[in-house]
Each structure stands twice: as structure tokens, then as C-alpha cells.
Structure 1
């Protein structure tokens, strides 16, 4: 499943930064198996991943009620962004499936892109890092943040009812010129949730 989000940060001195994060869609792995079963009732299950913003607590499902539309969730960082400083935010992803048996998932954050808004030049001075965590409290600590590589940043396996946390850090270079004051950037990032059962080394 994919997720889209946004971090918003207003620059105190040099710039305004809008971090547009995460669009969520479903990604499904298909596999085939057969078995003989006694007559009974067949029940469909949902692949339901819930998202909650850190620190605001705003929440949504990755896919809206129609089962096709990607969710959007605004991320609000914990502070204002000024040259030489960073702002932090995060997303708690919870595996809320009602499927029977094992239903572990792994969530992957794709490589984020930083783009200027309205022809500005602020993106040159903005650095975006991420990390996974076991608690949302870890998002406000600087340890562990790193650029997202081309393969993305993947969580540990998340079982039914379990959660994982993705933390995000946006930093403004200390040498950002006064000419970028009031400018904005969008940071786009895609999250994908994938069921592990039915694949090699899954469940």
C-alpha cells in the first residue's frame, strides 16, 4: 500500500518549507494455491493499514472507504525551521487487517524528492532524512537519521495489530541565503505496504 503525506514548516528567519509527504495506495502480491476444504462459509478479509501523524495524532487509513482512493495525511513538524536547524515529524503505520492466520507486512518508504514551489531555489538548501523506530518519541532525537537509498527504507515485519514508525527530518542549511526567505519546497515520498505471507521467507 502506498501512502502520501505532508510536513509543513515555516521558516523563522530564512524560508518557509512545505514537506509534502506520502500518498497511500494498495500494492498486492498475487500467488496461487489449492486445497480441499469441507463445505462452509468463505469470508473476505481486508488489507487495512492505518496511519497516524506524529506529533499531531491525525489519523486515516492508507486507502479510503471506496477501497481504491489513496489517503492523504498532513504531517505537522514539531518546530519552526531556521537556517542550521531541523524539524521532525513521523508516521505510525499499524497493521489492522482482519485476516485469519499469519498476516505480517513490511512497509517501505521510497526515495523522497525535494522540489521548489513557484520557481524558487530553496530545494538546494533543504536536506531530507528518515529512519524507522519502535516509538514515536524517537522521531525527535537526531540519532539514526540517514538519506533514503534507492532501494527505499523498509520496516521490520509488522504483524496483525502491530505498528511501526517512520520518522522524518528536514534540515535547512546554515548557509541558506536571505534570498530564499518565504520560499517553499514540496517533499514527496511514497510508502508501500506489502504482505509477507505467501512469498519466500514470509510468515
Structure 2
């Protein structure tokens, strides 16, 4: 007898950096998998992905009741300037309670940087990222990669474990002084993908 089993995975969308303010949003997607099972009890499993912002300390699950996207603010204490990057981070936890391995991979994609109002600052802004084992590693400029269409993928995050996604927003040294005070919006796609934990494979 074959019994369908639903595997839920999460995709979260990050949005809005206004020179040091980062907002992360999340939503669920569903994948199907089937495996043979003896007659018995089938129980549902949770595939929650938790988000904890730094330095704000706000925490939430990536998707709220009813599938509404969650929002976290990564408020910065410093201002962005040429030679003075702004750093922020999100601790992403794999809180699955399913049996098996059910590791999660985190993928961050290419950001979209757009001007606000009649500004012209976007062309001078670079967004970089790296994965780390601790939030304290985010403040170091080493290891960051400028985000391109190729994206950046984490190592597998096991159940009950987490990874730290670090962000670095930099301003070019060639930025015109007349652009001082302008702001940009940065839309940043982030995906949390549930890796297959079914012994016979996932469809």
C-alpha cells in the first residue's frame, strides 16, 4: 500500500534595505513525495524555519498563521558611507520535527537595488553576503561575496541547527558628495529549501 506524504518547504522573500534597514518576508511552498508504508498511523510534521534578526533581536517564523509573510527589521546603528559598510544578519533555524534527516539549504539570490524618489544612488551600492556559524563573524569584512545571478547557497542545515546569513551593504568610493542623504530600496530573494529526508527518494 502506498500512502501520500506531503513535504512542506519554505521560500522566504527578503525586501527593503533603506541604508541600514532590512526587512525579511516569508511564505510557504508545497512539494509532494510518496513512499511505501505499512498500514498504521500517519502523523503530520512541521517544517518551520525560524528567523532571528541582528542587531534588532526580533524573531519570528518565516510564515505566520494562514500563510501570511513574516517581517523582521534589521535596524542599524551606523550610517552607510564610502569606506564604511553597513552589516546585518539573520539567524535561520531548521525547526523541523519530522523523522529522518530533513536538512535545509538556504539560498540567497541577486538583489535588486532601486532609487527612491528622484535619487541616483543605486548604481553606487553593492550588496554582499556570506554564511557564518555565529553572528559575531558578520562584522568582519572577510569572506563576503557580491551577490550576482548565480546566488549563494549554504551548506546543509540539519534539524535543530541553524546558520547565520550575513549581509554587507557597501557604497562606492566614487559616490558623488551631492548624493549624500539619498536612500535606496534593496529587494533580496532568499529561499529556504527542505532537502529530501525520505529514504526512497523525493518526487
TM-score by length of 1: 0.85
CA RMSD in angstroms comes to 2.2
Aligned to 1:65: 65
Which of 23, 28, 31 is 1:29 aligned to?
31
Conservation of the 8 A alpha-carbon contact between 1:89 and 1:167: yes
3-state SS of the aligned residue for 2:156? coil
Deviations 1:85-144 (A, max 9, x none): 201001100011222232211111111111111121010111111111111111000001
Higher strand share: 2
Equivalence for 1:94: 93
Runs of at least 4 residues of structure 1 off by over 3 A? Answer: 5-8, 18-22
CA contact (8 A) 2:20 2:80 kept: no
Work out the number of aligned pairs and report it: 191
Per-residue deviation at 1:198?
4.8
5+ residue gaps, structure 2: 1-10
1:46 equivalent in alignment to 2:56: no
**Other-structure match for 2:82:** 83
How far is 1:84 from its partner? 2.4
Superposed, which structure 2 residues align to 1:133-172 within 5 Å? 133-172=132-171
What does the per-residue CA deviation read over 1:45-87, in whole Å, with 9 as the maximum and x for residues that have no partner? 1110000111221111100122x11212111235221222201
What do the CA deviations read for 1:8-67 (whole angstroms, capped 9, x no partner)? 4xxxxxxxx255553322233322222223x33x3211110000111221111100122x
For the 8 Å contact 1:18–1:186, the answer to whether it is kept is no
Asked if structure 2 preserves the Cα contact closer than 8 Å seen for 1:3 and 1:25, the reply is: yes
Does 2:9 match 1:2?
Answer: no
Deviation at 1:149, TM superposition (A): 3.0
Name stretches of at least 5 consecutive residues in structure 1 with no aligned partner.
Answer: 9-16
Whether the 8 Å CA contact 2:109–2:190 is kept in 1: the answer is yes
**TM-score, normalisation: structure 2:** 0.85
Kept in 2: contact 1:51–1:94 (CA 8 A): yes
